[in-house]
Chain A
């Protein structure tokens, strides 16, 4: 199985997965790769995920959607807390789900009500660091769930803040990541994310 997830400079996310399935598959068996929510999912409010591994387990856990949902809820909470910390609790209520256009038309935020891209400077940095920790934790927790059921494999994901994250419970995953911050690396076994970096 192969896959890719990406964040572009417009802040848009995308995910894709392609596979030949499993050796010796019969009876029209289909794994998680073509199933939206299991092997692939992307939502600008949360993250983009592509999975690889024992498809039957990824299907049962709904891996890609589960990771995105966890992250979306946590990101919402981060923004809510950030606003509250800055003493703007009242404006949170006003800006909660919608905002008023001068014309009187009610506009919904394009990326949902809580978007950390509305923050600037230090507030953005703080929120982005939290998102990275939460994204890694969400991916690890969902992969642990897969393992608990007896499955194995891995996921890649990118966040709207530009983090490129891996999580796998196998001894290796063929993988690579690159970012506008200068990261550019490929790796195979666990714990060697920087060992194979090439210019």
Chain B
């Protein structure tokens, strides 16, 4: 009895959008080589998510597929290439949510999990909680079979220099243009 004005239903659609950070960017500092590097990395992530959707896969799988290569790519502030804390460590946060039932999972301040987005998803599916943090989250990760990733995996020279610059300028974390890393 619901409103309809002709017989043709809309075709099933899929759609995906990704981001790799936002901030104040200097166009002059973006060399063609650097730009190509970023565009290739974004396209790789987009293609990974797109492939899942195009073959009829789920939105949840597509989101994870798109984020994984960005967590592995030192260009982005996530996973490998994450920025440094004041103490010189890399602490990672992630969250994921399923629009079907609004189930959600999140982790904060983990240091040894290679792909925090996957741990967030396991928090969603295998725990009664929404967010786990720090050592507890890592303990949960170990119980769920996540390998312990050494800190060297996450640390990059560029991010280390950014922290050193910040400290040299005696800036607090909130004073610097931290976006984009």
Chain A residues near B (Cβ < 8 Å): 1-26, 28-31, 33-36, 39-44, 48, 50, 52-54, 82-83, 86, 88, 91, 94-95, 117-125, 128, 152-154, 156-159, 161-166, 168, 170-181, 184, 186, 188-189, 196, 198
Residue among B1, B15, B130 with the highest chain A CB neighbour number at 10 A: B15
CB distance from B64 to the nearest CB of A (A): 7
> Cα distance A91–B15 when bound, in Å?
32
Q: Contact check: which of B14, B43, B49, B78 meets A1 at CB < 8 Å?
A: B78
Give the chain A neighbours of B90 by CB distance below 8 A: 20
Q: Contact check: which of B1, B21, B93 meets A31 at CB < 8 Å?
A: B93
Is there contact, CB below 8 Å, between A174 and B95?
A: no
Query: When A and B form their complex, which 10 residue pairs have the shortest distance between CB atoms, in order from nearest?
Result: A20-B82, A13-B99, A174-B20, A121-B6, A162-B13, A173-B22, A172-B25, A42-B99, A14-B59, A154-B22
Q: A25-B91, A180-B54 are in contact. List 8 more A-B contacts (CB 8 A).
A: A2-B19, A4-B18, A10-B58, A16-B95, A21-B91, A91-B1, A120-B8, A158-B15
> Cα distance A176–B69 when bound, in Å?
14
Chain B residues near A (Cβ < 8 Å): 1-25, 27, 30, 35, 38-39, 42-43, 45-47, 49-50, 53-54, 56-60, 62-64, 66-67, 70-71, 76-79, 81-87, 90-100, 102, 104, 106-109, 116-117, 120-121, 130-131, 133-134, 154, 159, 162-163, 166-167, 171-173, 176, 178-179, 181
**Could you count the A-B residue pairs with CB atoms below 8 Å apart for me: how many are there?**
375
The DSSP consensus for interface residues of chain B is mixed
CB distance from B12 to the nearest CB of A (A): 4
CB distance from B47 to the nearest CB of A (A): 8
Is there contact, CB below 8 Å, between A16 and B63?
A: yes
CB distance from A77 to the nearest CB of B (A): 14
Is there contact, CB below 8 Å, between B86 and A24?
A: yes
Give the chain B neighbours of A168 by CB distance below 8 A: 22
Is there contact, CB below 8 Å, between B19 and A14?
A: no
Is there contact, CB below 8 Å, between A88 and B1?
A: yes
Is there contact, CB below 8 Å, between A174 and B22?
A: yes
Q: Contact check: which of B9, B56, B97, B116 meets A18 at CB < 8 Å?
A: B116
> Cα distance A30–B50 when bound, in Å?
30
> Cα distance A64–B17 when bound, in Å?
15
Supposing A24-B167, A122-B6 touch, asked if A14 and B22 sit within 8 A by C-beta, the answer is no
Q: Contact check: which of B42, B60, B78, B131 meets A14 at CB < 8 Å?
A: B60
Q: Contact check: which of B23, B117, B159 meets A16 at CB < 8 Å?
A: B117
Q: Contact check: which of B71, B106, B107 meets A2 at CB < 8 Å?
A: B71
Q: Contact check: which of A19, A43, A176, A177 meets B94 at CB < 8 Å?
A: A19
Is there contact, CB below 8 Å, between A120 and B9?
A: yes
A-B contact pairs, 15 of them (CB 8 A): A1-B77, A2-B21, A3-B19, A5-B16, A7-B14, A15-B96, A18-B78, A23-B163, A28-B134, A29-B173, A43-B99, A52-B179, A119-B4, A120-B9, A172-B24
CB distance from B75 to the nearest CB of A (A): 8
The closest CB in chain B to the CB of A172 belongs to B25
Is there contact, CB below 8 Å, between B15 and A25?
A: no
> Cα distance A33–B60 when bound, in Å?
17
Q: Contact check: which of A42, A95, A154, A158 meets B19 at CB < 8 Å?
A: A154
Give the chain B neighbours of A3 by CB distance below 8 A: 18-19, 67
Is there contact, CB below 8 Å, between B120 and A34?
A: yes
Is there contact, CB below 8 Å, between A176 and B45?
A: yes
